[in-house]
Amino acid sequence: MFLDTTQSAVASAFTTEPLPDYQHETVRHLIFGSLTAVRLTIQDLHKKHYAEPNDWSKLISTGRPNEVMVILTKRVAIKE
């Protein structure tokens, strides 16, 4: 089971039961596409409370026409 660390922090603020021990890992997300498509995807993930827009890297040109990429590094809690 995968949990976002912010979700577990919120859960711990509202529960009296101790949370199980979680192991943390780092994952990286790469998005490739047109500037518009990349920005819309970042906005969509923000609306779903997955990542803040400022958490993504600056736009990086791929060298291909009309294509950029961004990177998000995120720490996730993994319940064993």
Evaluate if pTM is beyond 0.75. no
* Predicted local distance difference test score (pLDDT) of residue 22: 84
As a whole number of angstroms, the distance between CA 35 and CA 15 comes to 42
Instruction: Say if residues 53 and 43 touch (Cβ distance below 8 Å).
Output: yes
Backbone angles phi, psi at 2, to 5 degrees: -110, 135
Listed in order, strand segments (DSSP E) in the chain are: 2-4, 22-33, 60-61, 68-79
Mean pLDDT (whole number) for 43-71: 97
Instruction: Say if residues 25 and 75 touch (Cβ distance below 8 Å).
Output: yes
pLDDT tens digit sequence for 4-28:
554 555 554 555 666 667 899 999 9
* Predicted local distance difference test score (pLDDT) of residue 12: 47
As a whole number of angstroms, the distance between CA 67 and CA 60 comes to 9
